[in-house]
Amino acid sequence: MISSEQLTQIDKVARKMPLSDAMVSQLRSSFPGIHFTYCMDDDVEEATPVLEGSAFNLYLIDSRNHCLSFTSDLAVASGVVVAEIDSMNDFESEE
């Protein structure tokens, strides 16, 4: 379970630091018991972020039943994916 307060705190830490493996290490130290993963947002398919930002999105992970899946339910969440948004992919090509 991840509380809404923890999610807010995770968001604040992620906004203060450059997005990197070091930031994820800081999150792991600050929030023991919660699994953290860092990736690019375009690597995440068919999931809805629980928090959206201009530089990254946060997704929740459910690890029940020995299989990882995305969830929007804080009560069953055991991890957070910090997914960096690549602004280079956000432009529209002019034709």
The predicted-structure confidence for 21-63, as pLDDT tens digits, reads as follows: 999 999 999 999 999 999 999 999 989 999 998 999 999 999 9
Q: What are phi and psi of 60, to 5 degrees?
A: -100, 145
Q: What are phi and psi of 8, to 5 degrees?
A: -65, -40
The predicted-structure confidence for 55-93, as pLDDT tens digits, reads as follows: 999 999 999 888 889 999 999 999 999 999 986 554 444
Domain ranges of the chain: 4-86
CA-nearest of 17, 12, 21, 7 to 79 is 7
Strand partners, 52: 57
